[in-house]
């Protein structure tokens, strides 16, 4: 009888522990910065990742899936299910970022061993999203660090999808018409402007956006980066290898006009992940309605802030403008221990 009480008590504590964790569903186009964000989340003790869905973007969908499996293997977290998703945007041609991330998306490291794609879950990413949030209604936070194609497909299949999500955190878009891919377009939104438009006009759950300009304004010093990747751990060694190409690319651009982002370390996707993990990370926001330009010759893919409320939209998003960079440093350091 005593043993049964102990077992029952242990089960209750186990359930309460699981309930206290933040449940995340992470959608990535896994390049180097996605890897940094994923490792940050994997190391967070208050987080449970229910699944990782993969999308075209920084590299091909096959490479993105391999990269995620590689990261999970590095972190000894291969139990987390990984799902392959959209291989191309809803319209238009594929865009990749091989100059920065390498052709394979993880820096083209010569001796990097990639797991077999046989380890992937057979369920399509969009269907997995719908199933996972339905199994945990109102509890799952979605973090999207790539093009929003999978989310657009999911909401088109089930318009109630956004109502089942606790909150949505996006790395993408811009707030000052400054692009990092086109003159006015941020890379993730430019990869699939239609998907970004659908998500920002269909999702009515609490939505938080970490824009390109925000990440640049809150960059970390190169001195921190050096300290971060020279930790004496397996994870730091892994990060040092995969980030070498992007570090070299960034520093080559230093001094060029319009390249302010090269003056520091900008782990773009980690800002959105940190915001999802720690509510105190964000210190200021703009609360307004947004949309995405689809037809402009120079502005296609640009996120539009409706500060004058001319769009008459009831749903407003939280555009992050300031954050606690010391908290980000702490989370990043913990990720590589």
Options 27, 29, 192, 278, the catalytic residue: 29
SS (H, E, C) the chain: CHHHHHHHHHHHHHHHHHHHCEEEEEEECCCHHHHHHHHHHHHCCCEEEEEEEECCCCCCHHHHHHHHHHHHHHCCCCCCCEEECCCCCCCCCCCCCHHHHCCCCCCCCCCCCCCCHHHCECCCHHHHHHHHHHHCCCCEEEEECCCCHHHHHHHHHCCCHHHHEEEEEEECCCCCCCCCCCCCCCHHHHHCHHHHHHHHHHCCCCEEEECHHHHHHCCECHHHHHHHHCCCCHHHHHHHHHHHHHHHHHHHCCCCCCCHHHHCECCHHHHHHHHHHCHHHEEEEEEEEEEECCCCCCCCCCEEEECCCCCCCCCCEEEEEEECHHHHHHHHHHHCC
Residue (of 151, 199, 208) closest to 175 by Cα position = 208
Rounded CA separation 186/211 (Å): 8
Are 198 and 155 in contact, with CB atoms under 8 Å apart?
yes
Residue 111 appears among annotated catalytic residues: no
Catalytic positions, written as ranges: 29
């Amino acid at each position: 009888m005593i043993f049964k009480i102990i077992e029952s008590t242990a089960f209750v504590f186990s359930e309460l522990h699981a309930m206290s964790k933040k449940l995340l569903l992470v959608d990535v186009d896994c390049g180097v910065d996605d890897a940094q964000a994923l490792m940050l989340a994997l190391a967070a003790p208050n987080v449970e990742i229910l699944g990782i869905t993969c999308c075209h973007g920084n590299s091909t969908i096959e490479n993105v899936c391999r990269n995620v499996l590689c990261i999970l293997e590095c972190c000894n977290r291969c139990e987390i299910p990984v799902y392959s998703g959209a291989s191309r945007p809803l319209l238009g041609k594929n865009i990749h970022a091989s100059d920065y991330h390498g052709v394979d998306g993880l820096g083209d490291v010569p001796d990097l061993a990639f797991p077999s794609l046989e380890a992937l879950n057979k369920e399509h990413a969009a269907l997995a999203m719908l199933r996972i949030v339905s199994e945990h209604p109102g509890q799952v936070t979605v973090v999207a660090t790539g093009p929003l194609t999978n989310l657009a497909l999911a909401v088109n299949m089930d318009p109630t999808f956004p109502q089942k999500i606790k909150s949505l955190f996006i790395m993408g878009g811009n707030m000052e018409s400054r692009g990092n891919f086109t003159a006015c377009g941020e890379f993730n939104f430019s990869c699939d402007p239609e998907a970004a438009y659908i998500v920002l006009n269909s999702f009515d759950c609490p939505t938080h956006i970490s824009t390109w300009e925000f990440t640049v304004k809150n960059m970390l010093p190169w001195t921190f980066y050096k300290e971060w990747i020279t930790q004496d751990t397996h994870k730091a060694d892994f990060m040092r290898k995969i980030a070498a190409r992007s570090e070299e690319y960034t520093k080559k651009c230093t001094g060029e006009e319009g390249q302010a982002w090269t003056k520091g370390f900008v782990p773009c996707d980690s800002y959105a992940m940190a915001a999802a993990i720690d509510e105190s990370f964000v210190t200021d926001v703009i609360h307004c309605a947004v949309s995405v330009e689809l037809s402009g010759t120079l502005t296609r893919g640009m996120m539009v802030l409706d500060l004058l409320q001319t769009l008459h939209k009831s749903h407003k998003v939280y555009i992050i403008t300031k954050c606690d960079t010391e908290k980000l440093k702490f989370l990043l350091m913990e990720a590589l221990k």
